Amino acid sequence: MGKKIRSALLSVFYKDGLDEIVQYLDNNGVKIYSTGGTLSFIEGLGVQAHSVESLTGYPSILGGRVKTLHPKVFGGILARRNNPDDCKQLEQYEIPEVDLVVADLYPFEETLSGGASEAEVIEKIDVGGMSLIRAAAKNYSDVAVVASRRQYAELLSMLKENGCGTTQANRKYLAAQAFNVTSHYDSAIFSYFNLSERIPSFKQSVQGSMPLRYGENPHQKAAFYGSFGDMFEQLHGKEISYNNLLDIDSAVSLIRELAEPSFVILKHSNACGAASRPTLAEAWAAALAGDPVSAFGGVLACNRELDRATAEEVNKLFCEVVIAPAYNAEGLATLKQKKNRIILAAKTFELPASQSRALLNGVAVQERDLSVEAEEDMTAVTAVKPSAEQVQDLIFANKLVKHSKSNAIVLAKNRQLIAGGVGQTSRVDALRHAVEKAASFGFSLQGAVMASDAFFPFPDCVEIAHKAGVAAVIQPGGSVNDQKSIDYCNANGVAMVITGVRHFKH
């Protein structure tokens, strides 16, 4: 048997599910104190409750801003039952003990996300509820606390298991849950007031987690903290791993920048296949052709509903994950033939504007690279200008290189990834790797384009590319030796455009 609940204070914004707790407390002779709308709700159930005003002798004032902030309320919550002086003062000032506090918080985040005015947002900063929750959680040795409607069912189960009481372990667990709620709430409020980032403090609170199959390696445990279900619906397959999640992030970041029907195939966060075509089936065939070897065990993503014909072709390949905005019934059934294949339906969602990464003994934060260069962002710096078709290939290649690990070079033609050299310590090595890879799969680079994630420090890259057949180049520029690369292109009839935007990715 746990510590018996004899009195409870209930003051909540959300009433859903509260009725069962109220009825159970009443049936077990618990004296209930309450405020405002919660009091009316309880009385509407036919249950007797006592107003906080009758306890404190003060009405709710300042438009409801002050209701429970009073020694007769907080004394009964914070009093240590094993401390004789505390108990003596409760008796002296006629303060009743409170054994259970059920309080939630005004919906600050919901109000903020709804586009409310500043005055409306400020009014949703909870003061009394926060104070009640923190006081009860601090005194968990004697008081049980519930700070969210998500815990109503759990509380009711605890009470029933312990004869309308709670154990010390119950109360400590509930206190931890309460501080989780209040710390998250305070983080959201701080972020609102620090939108200008004038205060150099990193605070991020993410509620909810998803266990991952394992980390980068099977001996490493891992979890994802976030709302995966807000972004994807998993329709089939095994539990997602840490590596799957990294590839999913990269695949989604890339595919959402491609407007035409497109398919991308990723391996270790780099595209090994990508193509845009009039139909999804054509895009899949072209993407796979880019590197059918690396595609094995990859993560696939497309930007149109996945139909049966395309699904049948995809199903011939062993792949870890398939991502699409939708699937027709026959296509989905085909893909489900592999029991472990992870099938995700991508929802409409926005990615955060900033990215953070744990480094050394802290966290590094940067703005997300949202720059996507179009034709008007290109400056032609050579006598030969790229053709209309080459411009489209340059745009396509530049998107791919942006989402490739540096140093990165992408070779493309007809909006198809021909080959990429990624993650190399030398840009020349990245290019040579791409040229060799293209040749190994029988691709001709005559008329292809080249994209580089950063400038060329020397003209060697454009020379190698030209000799391999590349006809047009896109790069950010900015090297003191830019003119040397431009001169080589001019001397050999190669078109070059500069964007002024570097796309390193580490």
Burial 354-377 (b: 16+ CB within 10 A, else e): eeeeeeeeeeeeeeeeeeebeeee
| Distance, CA of 460 to CA of 229 (rounded, Å) | 48
- Containing 276, the helix (H) or strand (E) segment is strand 270-276
Write the CB contacts of 48 (distance below 8 Å, at least 6 apart in sequence).
Answer: 26, 32
Answer yes or no: 347 catalytic. no
- Sign of the alpha-carbon dihedral angle for 55, 61, 65, 69: negative
| Distance, CA of 284 to CA of 321 (rounded, Å) | 15
Tokens standing for residue 10: 């209930």
- Containing 314, the helix (H) or strand (E) segment is helix 308-314
DSSP secondary structure letters along 449-473: EEEESS--SSTHHHHHHHHHT--EE
Helices 84-92 & 71-78 angle (0-180, nearest 10): 150
Is there a cis peptide before residue 407, judged by omega within 30 degrees of 0? Answer: yes
| Distance, CA of 40 to CA of 298 (rounded, Å) | 58
Instruction: Exactly one of 268, 338, 385, 484 is catalytic; name it.
Output: 268
Answer yes or no: 15 catalytic. no
Instruction: Report whether 456 contacts 486 (CB < 8 A).
Output: no
Write the CB contacts of 264 (distance below 8 Å, at least 6 apart in sequence).
Answer: 251, 254, 255, 258, 271, 273, 274, 287, 300, 301, 302
Tokens standing for residue 345: 């339906």
| Distance, CA of 53 to CA of 150 (rounded, Å) | 28
Measured from the Cβ of residue 318, the count of other Cβ atoms closer than 10 Å reads 12
Tokens standing for residue 474: 């896109």
Tokens standing for residue 177: 């849950």
Instruction: Exactly one of 15, 138, 184, 484 is catalytic; name it.
Output: 138
Which of 416, 400, 412 minimizes the C-alpha distance to 277?
Answer: 416
Measured from the Cβ of residue 36, the count of other Cβ atoms closer than 10 Å reads 14
Tokens standing for residue 440: 């190994």
Pairing of strands 31-34, 354-359: unpaired
Q: Which residues are catalytic?
A: 138, 268
